Amino acid sequence: MLHRLTIHELTSLLARREVSAREAMQSCLDQVARVDGDIRAFISHNPADALAQADAVDKLISSGADFARQPLLGVPIALKDVLAVKDHPLNCCSKILGNFTSPYDAAVVEKLKAAGAVIFGRLNMDEFAMGSSTENSAFQTTRNPWDITRIPGGSSGGSAAAVAADECIASLGSDTGGSIRQPAALCGCVGMKPTYGRVSRYGLVAFASSLDQIGPFTKDVRDAASLLEVISGHDRRDATSIPQPVPAYTKALTGDIKGLRLGLPKEYMVGGLDPQVKAAVDAAVKHLQSLGASVQEISLPHTDYDVAVYYIIATAEASANLARFDGVRYCARVDGADPLAMYGSTRGAGFGAEVKRRIILGTYVLSSGYYDAYYLRAQKVRTLIRQDFLKAFEQVDAIVTPTTPTPAFKAGEKSGDPLQMYLSDIFTIGCNLAGIPGLSLPCGFSNASQLSTQNSQPRLPIGLQFLGKPFGEETLLRLAHAYEQSTPWHKERAL
Ligand code: GLN
């Protein structure tokens, strides 16, 4: 049952030498073998390589390892298929990358390795991180461990489902408009998008460079703090990385949130919000008050523009970033009569429908004649959205919202309607546009009181989102930890 443990539970057993890293890794591999036929979180994994890494860690531990210096020693961690691991496949769940393997490690992977983690497996995602359900993966749709007729969210759906199904101890994903927090909410785990610039994106395949951040998926808040501490920090290889010291995030988990001021944006508690999500979030807010936080209504007046602004800026940046997949530099080439025809046939065959839609949209909003009307205007409104948040943070220490408007939806329910799919990120997008940190954690379940009869709806996790000031990660972790430790939700497992 070692696969069910958190990072801190596992490392304390490893440090006392009560279990070995090999046993922990084997336990996760067994769980993958048992459940991944249904869950389909993993695109690929290499058990022999994973066990060899675990054996190397066991040698280190037996010769007296320092867990304070290497806080992830022997912890099996799986990665979204968008992060480069030297000599491992990297596909972004697209056909266009063919059988590409990474020649180098991403900055976060270097840091995980230095901290002693055992890195195994490539996790499913929407192609190039474009989507909210993993249904845009060129390979497979991941299923929600709480109900396999439903999706796990996306784009990092594999990362969320693998943690929720205890197939790994923790995972990493990327978040451009909610791709960590939305699947974390729908799968009942903790997911965090750090401040823009907090974590180096060197070795992350770019989707929308002014929005992308890497962050952790974990089983509890303490693990999120320790994983964030490992992966954060300045890196000259990512020009947007900010030279700000990395706090000891686990020290922020004091349990004391007395006097913290929370803001409830009135624009977020409106139409389209599922009544059970609303009830769970209302109850969570009351609970936070009972722990000593004060709550006031705030306004983020430009919220209505979030989705439109995001889909102009993200697609514009994607159209530029994805130009490199041209059949020359990386990918599986499809020949044509001349170079131009070759680009066309390679990209035509290699990209899926959603990626093509975004490239076309992004090219359009950047084209002369439309640039001013769409892209430039979206950039201006983005500034207003950021200013709304910064103004709100003059009055409050953190903002609390639902993470998603509804619990996990059925596979196929929204895949035919891009706009419906885009709207599932309505509460997570503002955070990326503003560059601020956000965290989602479980705050209850839908249909919690229903007896399980044949017609009953499944019990599905609901997520609570905290948004913070730039580099306010410690406040978010402190709040989330105090909430989590005084509520039962994180103790429930999907399988
Ligand atoms: N679902 C959003 C999109 O499709 C966000 C994706 C992400 O954060 N990578 O763009």
Residue 79: predicted pLDDT: 98
Q: Are residues 262 and 363 in the same domain?
A: no
Please check whether residue 406 lies inside any domain of the structure: yes
Please check whether residue 360 lies inside any domain of the structure: yes
CB distance 468 to 476 below 8 Å: yes
- Distance (Å, whole) CA 36 – CA 34: 6
Counting ligand 1 atoms within 8 A of each CB, the residue from 179, 313, 404 with the most, and so the one to mutate, is 179
- Distance (Å, whole) CA 398 – CA 378: 26
- Decide the pairing of beta strands 76-80 and 118-123: parallel
| Residue 80 is among the residues annotated as catalytic for this protein | yes
Report the C-alpha dihedral over residues 315, 189, 107, 20, rounded to 10 degrees: -150
Q: Are residues 82 and 142 in the same domain?
A: yes
Q: Are residues 350 and 450 in the same domain?
A: no
Residue 125: predicted pLDDT: 98
CB distance 188 to 492 below 8 Å: yes
Q: Are residues 57 and 88 in the same domain?
A: yes
- Distance (Å, whole) CA 449 – CA 94: 41
The structure tokens 């041209």 sit at 326
Q: 376, 409, 430 — which closes off a domain?
A: 376
Tokens read off for 407: 């619990």
CB distance 185 to 191 below 8 Å: yes
pLDDT in tens, 85-106: 999 999 999 999 999 999 999 9
Give me ligand 1 centre to Cα 130, in Å.
Answer: 5
Q: 376, 398, 422 — which closes off a domain?
A: 376
Domain tally for the chain?
Answer: 2
Please check whether residue 105 lies inside any domain of the structure: yes
Q: Are residues 182 and 269 in the same domain?
A: yes
Residue 102: predicted pLDDT: 96
Strand partners, 438: 193, 467
- Distance (Å, whole) CA 83 – CA 73: 20
The neighbour count for residue 104, using CB atoms within 10 Å, is 13
CB distance 154 to 135 below 8 Å: yes
Please check whether residue 115 lies inside any domain of the structure: yes
Please check whether residue 211 lies inside any domain of the structure: yes
Amino acid, single-letter form, for residue 488: P
Residue 132 CB less than 6 A away from ligand 1:
yes
Element (H, E) at 213: strand 213-218
Residue 424: predicted pLDDT: 86
Please check whether residue 336 lies inside any domain of the structure: yes
Q: 376, 399, 434 — which closes off a domain?
A: 376
Residue 344: predicted pLDDT: 94
Please check whether residue 444 lies inside any domain of the structure: yes
The structure tokens 């790994």 sit at 168
The model carries a pTM of 0.97
Give me ligand 1 centre to Cα 364, in Å.
Answer: 19
Report the C-alpha dihedral over residues 140, 146, 149, 150, rounded to 10 degrees: -70
Q: What value does the mean pLDDT take over residues 1-23?
A: 97
Q: Are residues 368 and 225 in the same domain?
A: no
Q: Are residues 324 and 216 in the same domain?
A: no
Residue 331: predicted pLDDT: 74
Q: What value does the mean pLDDT take over residues 445-458?
A: 68
Q: Are residues 330 and 288 in the same domain?
A: no
pLDDT in tens, 175-231: 999 999 999 999 999 999 999 999 999 999 999 999 999 999 999 999 999 999 999
Q: Are residues 277 and 368 in the same domain?
A: no
pLDDT in tens, 319-329: 999 999 999 98
Q: How many residues does the chain have?
A: 495
Cβ burial, residue 258 (10 Å; 0-12/13-18/19+)? exposed
pLDDT in tens, 336-351: 999 999 999 999 999 9
Residue 269: predicted pLDDT: 78
Tokens read off for 226: 């320790």
Catalytic residue among 80, 111, 193, 469: 80
Give residue 270's pLDDT band: very low, low, confident or very high (50, 70, 90).
confident
Q: Whose CA is nearest to atom 5 of ligand 1?
A: 177
- Distance (Å, whole) CA 9 – CA 27: 15
Nearest to 391 by CA among 314, 481, 302, 272: 302
R_g over Cα of the chain = 21
Reduce the secondary structure of 258-279 to three states and give it as a string: CCCEEEEEHHHCCCCCCHHHHH
Residue 432 CB less than 6 A away from ligand 1:
no
Q: Are residues 268 and 313 in the same domain?
A: no
CB distance 226 to 71 below 8 Å: yes
Q: What angle do CA 25, 44, 9 make, to 5 degrees?
A: 25
Domain containing 361 equals 304-376
Q: What value does the mean pLDDT take over residues 125-141?
A: 98
- Distance (Å, whole) CA 480 – CA 466: 8
Q: Are residues 272 and 321 in the same domain?
A: no
The structure tokens 């408009």 sit at 177
Give residue 418's pLDDT band: very low, low, confident or very high (50, 70, 90).
confident
The CATH number assigned to the domain holding 56 equals 3.90.1300.10
Catalytic residue among 20, 27, 133, 179: 179
pLDDT in tens, 51-61: 999 999 999 99
Residue 221: predicted pLDDT: 98
Please check whether residue 381 lies inside any domain of the structure: no
Q: What value does the mean pLDDT take over residues 290-305?
A: 97
Residue 327 CB less than 6 A away from ligand 1:
no
Mean of all residue pLDDT scores within the chain: 96
CB distance 129 to 155 below 8 Å: yes
Beta-carbon contacts of 290 under 8 Å, excluding residues fewer than 6 positions away, are none
Q: Are residues 201 and 264 in the same domain?
A: yes
Give residue 456's pLDDT band: very low, low, confident or very high (50, 70, 90).
low
Residue 422: predicted pLDDT: 87
**Minimum-distance ligand 1 atom for the alpha carbon of 129:** 9
Give me ligand 1 centre to Cα 305, in Å.
Answer: 16
**pLDDT over threshold 90, residue 423:** no
Q: Which residue has the higher pLDDT, 65 or 156?
A: 156
